[in-house]
């Protein structure tokens, strides 16, 4: 089945540690996105990528990094510089820019 796969479902981070969240899509979509969702809140854009080897900062990029080496993969690293990383992280993709985005099932990150 085509879709967006995020892993792991739950992740725990120790203080000072970097962690990487995986996002893979087999929809052949050009564009991919990372969002952060805090309890009771809407979605805020962290980073997005319209094509391979290119990505742009969203509204809350500080403390995060991404790469887009392959069309189907857009991993997000939460660095130790992100002081409040506890949140629900959602990855999305769209066939082209300005097309509806489709979401994965999210990764919930917590601090130990």
Partner 1 sequence: GQQLNQSPQSMFIQEGEDVSMNCTSSSIFNTWLWYKQDPGEGPVLLIALYKAGELTSNGRLTAQFGITRKDSFLNISASIPSDVGIYFCAGFLSNNAGNMLTFGGGTRLMVKP
What is the CA angle 31-77-46, rounded to 5?
A: 50
Task: Report the residue number, 14 or 96, with the smaller CB distance to partner 1.
Answer: 96
CA distance linking residue 71 with residue 43, whole number of Å: 23
In angstroms, give the least distance from the CB of 22 to partner 1. Answer: 14
List the one residue out of 20, 2, 17 whose CA is nearest residue 74. Answer: 20
- Give me 53's structure tokens: 């080897």
What is the C-alpha to C-alpha distance for residues 34 and 61, in angstroms, rounded to an integer?
10
State yes or no: residue 104 binds partner 1 (CB under 8 A): yes
Among 42, 54, 69, 84, binds partner 1 (CB under 8 A): 42
* Window contacting partner 1 (CB under 8 A); options: 12-20, 60-68, 77-85, 98-106: 98-106
Find, among 90, 112, 110, 103, the residue nearest to 3 by Cα: 103
Kindly state whether residue 39 participates in binding partner 1, applying the rule CB under 8 A: no
Instruction: Restricting to residues 66-95, name those near partner 1 by CB under 8 A.
Output: 90, 92
Where along the sequence are the contacts to partner 1 (CB under 8 A)? Answer: 4, 6, 31, 33, 41-43, 45, 48, 50, 56, 58-59, 90, 92, 97-98, 100-106, 108
């Amino acid at each position: 089945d085509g879709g967006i796969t995020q892993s792991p479902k739950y992740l725990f981070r120790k203080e000072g540690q970097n962690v990487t969240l995986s996002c893979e899509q087999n929809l052949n979509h050009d564009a991919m996105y990372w969002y952060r969702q805090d309890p009771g809140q809407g979605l805020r854009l962290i980073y997005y990528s319209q094509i391979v080897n290119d990505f742009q900062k969203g509204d809350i990029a500080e403390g995060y990094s991404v790469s887009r080496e392959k069309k189907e993969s857009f991993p997000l690293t939460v660095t130790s510089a992100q002081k409040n990383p506890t949140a629900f992280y959602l990855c999305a993709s769209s066939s082209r820019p300005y097309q509806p985005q489709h979401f994965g099932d999210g990764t919930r990150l917590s601090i130990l």
